[in-house]
Amino acid sequence: MKITVETTVNAPIAAVWRAYTTPADIKQWNTASDDWHTTKASVDLRVGGLFTSRMEAKDGSFGFDFAGTYTKIVPNELIEYTFGDRIGTVEFVTRENIVSVRVTFDVETENPIEQQRQGWQAILNNFSKFVEGHE
């Protein structure tokens, strides 16, 4: 089963793409709530390249790594990747200076589907706010 989440970013595609693929930016927006943060991020944006990020509760009580391998890159349009045995796709659809960012991913079995949807949507909402505030 797959889940799709989406946001609209009022910014040029160059700014949206850069924020999605730059480690320093990822550390600023990659969180589902204010009590979490991303402490590390790396991006090797090429087919076969790896990406990683480390998300941690700010109180130090819990953390986890998110990592995968890029399988397809179309600059300013599409990123496809694998993470474990799952697949993720990020689509960037541009209309003038508005970009719809749509993320589709395979569900995992440890957490309820709605919790997964809400978490990924919250991260994407933070991404939109970050880009619009830093354009």
**Whole-number pLDDT of residue 118:** 96
**Whole-number pLDDT of residue 13:** 97
49: left (phi over 0), alpha (psi -120 to 50) or beta: beta
**Whole-number pLDDT of residue 135:** 60
**Whole-number pLDDT of residue 96:** 86
The stretches in the chain having pLDDT less than 50 are none
User: What is the value of pTM for the model shown?
Assistant: 0.93
Structural domains of the chain ordered from first start: 2-134 (3.30.530.20)
Tens of pLDDT, residues 56-95: 999 999 999 999 999 999 999 999 999 999 999 999 999 9
**Alpha-carbon gap, residue 83 to 126, rounded angstroms:** 22
**Whole-number pLDDT of residue 134:** 80
